Amino acid sequence: MNTAFDQISHLIRPHFLKMQGYVSAGMLAGKDETRIFLNANENPFSLPGLEGCNRYPEPQPANLLKAMAGLYDVRQDQITITRGADEAIKLVTQIAVEPFTEDILITPPTFGIYKVDADAMPARKVVEVPLLKKQGTFFLNSQGIKNALDAPSNRIKLIYLTSPNNPTGNNLSYDDLTDVIQYAAGKAFVIMDETYAEFTDQPSFTQTITEHPHLIILRTLSKSYSMAGMRIGCVISGVPELTTIIRTKVMETYPIPRGSSEAALKIFEPGVLDIARQNIKKLITERERMVKALNIQNGIRHIYPSDANFLLVEMERAHDFYNFALSRNVIMRDISNAKGTENCIRLTLGTPSENDLVLALLKEFYG
């Protein structure tokens, strides 16, 4: 029988299939208080106020793994906790892209790290199939992606799809995304970056991972769960063998610092998840309020529809306004010179009073 792993094993760099993974002391014997651990060359003395720091953390903290698998409604052998979605991007690039030989595909304007990690491998090239700008928003060029995938001059191993997308803010159509995922089966991994998924009603693709073995989902606690400082994200795959390869052959041995996993677990304590969800609602309300206010503000040319916690705003003299706000200690993201986002500023939604300040600065600058 052709298992899910059989369907994707040729997409993994061959040496990862052959090599032995590292089995750390922590993997062999989980830590508990009742036993004496002399197996990891740790210092037995802890320092005052730093109790427990003398021990290596669990490679994949069991409690957090359980909690995150529950949060995303997947099995524990389908998820690998990473240091943010950023590390997840690096890991999937390492798994799939043979340096100097194979390519990745991105759909600019999109998140810059995909290309940086590919260039760092280095991938042979980064194939760009830009999003189509029409009807005041951005669409996936699914036919363009399919053509690129089949072009004899390309050897694409990874396709990055980001929805909601950064920096455009919008969801890509579920049907277009599905179309690309289905077409890429057996040809390339599709990495669905759902970093901003909690800010939209569009369903997550996590529910389809068993249907599509070549689909890998990236999630993070950074944005919607206010945890950017703790660096906790994950890779989700419907193929447990791939999870094992990531955990034992690609990741560092003890990647998740104890402090980060303990902090992340607090999200799941009674009431905290509710507060996080209320905060998400607050940000969505702020998004709607800001769109209304910006719509009647002089100098604003277009507000791109957003399903994320930021707005892409096209404005007159965008770079000058960015500098003006900077001089008042309000820092935005100036992408007014980047291809596809000409004259645009990316504005993260802040607290209501921070957003009011942005509106006041706009009024002062443009009248």
Distances (CA, A) of 90 to 84, 119, 166: 10, 11, 18
Q: Which is nearer to ligand PLP, 138 or 365 (CB)?
A: 138
194 and 204 Cβ atoms separated by less than 8 Å: yes
Four-residue CA torsion sign, 208, 193, 189, 335: positive
| Look-up of token digits 């990891």 | 40
Q: Which is nearer to ligand PLP, 143 or 202 (CB)?
A: 202
DSSP 172-217: PPHHHHHHHHHHHTTT-EEEEE-TTGGGS-SPPGGGGTTT-TTEEE
What minimum distance in Å lies between the beta carbon of 85 and ligand PLP? 4
What minimum distance in Å lies between the beta carbon of 166 and ligand PLP? 4
Q: Which is nearer to ligand PLP, 86 or 241 (CB)?
A: 86
Q: Which is nearer to ligand PLP, 91 or 148 (CB)?
A: 91
| Look-up of token digits 């443009």 | 366
Reading the block at residue 42, the tokens are: 């740790």
Buried b (16+ CB within 10 A) or exposed e, 261-295: bebbbebbeeeeeeebeeebeebbebbeebeebbe
What minimum distance in Å lies between the beta carbon of 24 and ligand PLP? 24
> Radius of gyration (Cα) for the chain, nearest Å?
22
Q: Which is nearer to ligand PLP, 21 or 340 (CB)?
A: 340
> Which one-letter DSSP state was computed for residue 342?
T
What minimum distance in Å lies between the beta carbon of 111 and ligand PLP? 4
Q: Which is nearer to ligand PLP, 59 or 233 (CB)?
A: 233
What minimum distance in Å lies between the beta carbon of 221 and ligand PLP? 7
What minimum distance in Å lies between the beta carbon of 358 and ligand PLP? 19
Closest CA to 162 of 282, 308, 332, 313: 308
Reading the block at residue 206, the tokens are: 């996590």
Q: Which is nearer to ligand PLP, 124 or 346 (CB)?
A: 346
What minimum distance in Å lies between the beta carbon of 350 and ligand PLP? 15
Alpha-carbon dihedral of residues 8, 9, 12, 15, nearest 10 degrees?
180
Q: Which is nearer to ligand PLP, 216 or 300 (CB)?
A: 216
Q: Please enumerate in sequence order all residues whose Cβ is within 8 A of that of 36, keeping only pairs 6 or more positions apart, or say none.
A: none
What minimum distance in Å lies between the beta carbon of 309 and ligand PLP? 10
75 and 209 Cβ atoms separated by less than 8 Å: no
* Residues near ligand PLP, by CB under 6 A: 84-86, 111, 162, 166, 193, 195, 220, 222, 228, 233
Q: Which is nearer to ligand PLP, 195 or 306 (CB)?
A: 195
What minimum distance in Å lies between the beta carbon of 80 and ligand PLP? 13
Element (H, E) at 285: helix 272-295
